[in-house]
Structure 1
């Protein structure tokens, strides 16, 4: 599953770990979610996205990711995008949103439990 290029998904990629994620050259959308064309991402926009992502990760105590990459995550059978984001959101919102490090720890626990689940038949 492709993870959009933002701080939240970069945190998910970092916490899931290399056994579940791999990086690829970043892609930038050419259409909005409702299908309207978007201007190509300039170097300035790409740098801004990277900077905002790095700030989000730093708040969680996570190292900055390489510039110009985004992530793919391999989900085990029975785990879909909705369950992935739901588990992370529940863990994240269970604590003070200003405590990024604790949120990351809770998300790590939730992700590891979810990704280690046996396949549902």
Structure 2
């Protein structure tokens, strides 16, 4: 039986909490674990070879990783705060928006990224 990373993390946290009966220690452990997770996600985002961008519900680019900058030709300063219409096809955006509204999420969907130079 294979254990997922998320299940392993939960088991690890619960083991640590069981060993600690003091509420302050429990809170401290949880905050430490949260900080570790935040660092893991930040490192994953920054060092991923795949282009990643976070987009607001209004379709505004919030953050991009270095692979996104390299692939698209846009620097983070140029693209953050701009509409996703600059980097993705409008029809693809509409299709994903429709799927999200119908299903609540979108999984395994590829998009063609427009480069700065065309």
Tell me whether the two structures share a fold, i.e. TM-score over 0.5. Answer: no
Larger Rg: 2
Q: With CA pairs under 8 Å and 6+ residues apart, which has the higher RCO, 1 or 2?
A: 1
Please give the range of the TM-score, normalised by the shorter of the 2 chains. Answer: under 0.3
- Higher share of residues assigned helix: 2
